[in-house]
Structure 1
Amino acid sequence: RVHARAPRGIVAALTERPRTLRALVQDSGLPRRSVEEILGCLGDDLRTGSGGTFVLRPGAVDRYRTMIDYGELRAGTALDPLAAEIGRHSALVTTMHELIASAPRPRTELDHVPATAATVVRRAVWLSTHYDLREAHLLCVGDHDLTSLAVVLLAAAASPDPARRGPAVTVVDIDEDLLEFLDRTARSRDLRLRCLYADLRFGLPPAVAGSADLAFTDPPYTPQGVSLFAARGAQGLADRERGRVLVAYGFSERVPTLGWKVQRALLDQGLVFEAIWPAFHTYAGAEAVGARADMYVCQPTSATWKHLDRPVPARGPAPTAIYARGRQAAESQSAPLAGPIVAAATGFLAISPGRGVFVG
């Protein structure tokens, strides 16, 4: 029963006005499958409207509001400590919405799921209110959400005087179209943003190693992906004691084992969780995890540097299968060759020693 507020919120929303399935997922933070199960329980009282929306039939509204104690639910809505500050930057939210719409399309094979414009501004506001970003260096390890632009645009709005320097931001990413977009946008607005190409599976560009005060990443949501991107963020830090790695990561409450695997992978990197802000990020997608992700504030320890400072042969190569989808998916495996094919190849090699043969 203690977890009933989110399901009650879904029913409450359906008594107020038509809602899409995506909106119900985003507002509740529940996995899409859970939301669909709740809708299924409403039976004939649920009506389907235009645009794929759902709403409760008028005659059932009062009964359901009584059932869920609607007044108590709406009176006890949790307060967002950042809401007022984000509200002051509504123009930036509009700007980011426009930039996200004009950015290169998300690439499924790289596990791109865009954060909402409000979330990107939320990240920038949180960074600026929790850290002293004056002349700081932020490293974005991947940036398909355009967080880098939100950070420098917020700083520019707060201090239009060019003599007062805000944060410098570096983005490393494998998506060359995205890097070109970020670079072009930054140049057109005279923003302190540097873009570098990097396939993070094979290392961090030397130019940014040991240079940043903070690192932020919204990585592929696999244990291998989160661990690798967080490690690259740590390698980018200049101050091994005061630097922090900020990680966006979410998992479905229906599959907590996956969350445990990812958290264990971060701990295996020697990182400790200084804070975890639940449901910090909201996405236009990722409905399997409730379209939400938490903000992990990770502090490196001596164990982090002991691991990262070891030569590559000693610590082993970084995993190359780090994504949840596509050819480089962590769960993808080559299908084993059928027995008859193996037998035929073995026989061929036996009668032709020293002759190369391709089997596939």
Structure 2
Amino acid sequence: MSYSQSVQALFQPFTVLNTQLSNRIVMAPMTRQFSPNGVPGPDVAAYYRRRAENGVGLIVTEGTIIDHPDSSNQENVPHFYGEAALNGWAEVVAEVHKAGGRIIPQIWHMGARGHVGDYTETDIAAIVQAFAEAASEAKRLGFDGLELHGAHGYLIDQFFWDKTNPRTDRYGGDMMARTRFAAEVIQACRSVVGPDFPIVLRFSQWKASDYSAKLAGTPELLEQFLAPLAEAGVDMFHCSTRRFWEPEFEGSDLNLAGWVKKLTGKPTITVGSVGLDSDFMSFFSEGKGAANTKIDGLIERLEREEFDLVAIGRSLLADPAWAIKIRDGRTDDLVPFTPKATQALY
């Protein structure tokens, strides 16, 4: 089997609701802080267009901030509200679509400054409404769906995790109650975008403060956690792990995306150091780059339909042409990830 034949699983089309993707490669959301005062400019549109015209099937934007006072503490993270920012995103969508790509925004609230117990139910209702307003704008601007950021210790995840959710009302306590906030956000978004607009939920077991954390320590608990989210209207789960090849639970080779697909029947996106020889957290902890490595194991899992889509982060940050180079067997031409790549303007 030739190299080009061996990677063909990555280049099969995929459809979720009414959104048709040309292949299984997803650009993972990566915060760059290149939107002064929250407004994405022409450079941001060009950045995403380059990935679309170089064969990425679906782009998930960097995290974009909802209209809520506590939603961000970073000045140059892009907003998803206000005329200037939304006009900027309209240009991003137009450029990606001109290049034949598909794109969804990642909708984000970075989290409570204290803990989620500080929010009143009135506060919670206002945040849910802000998510819904962002979802409505995503559809109005012509995006191909949306992703809710429910991972890595940010607001939705703070409600999920018992260590950051001390509430004793209907938004806290047992696992089911801790999913209520996310379910209300999902339902509110669904109510404004309609039944055919894909909603993706990104979630993680690990936290920035605890890499070994698990929201659910067994498949049975994971199923209990996922059920209300799927019922609320999630069309696809983006399952964030540090290393995609690691089994999620003992006794099975399935990774997190594999388990989520098995338990919910929903399509899943796998992610976590794809194509690299070290996990992405080594960059933050040690300032390390990473060399490119083979993706044979990834392809085998995709061929077995363990998951449906594959999100690529640092490899696409360093090399906008990663997808077509992989497709054409030009692995010697791949650009390795270095810390300098995080400043990429291209």
- Normalised by the length of structure 2, the TM-score is 0.28
Structure that is richer in helix per residue: 1
- Normalised by the length of structure 1, the TM-score is 0.27
Structure possessing the higher radius of gyration over alpha carbons:
1
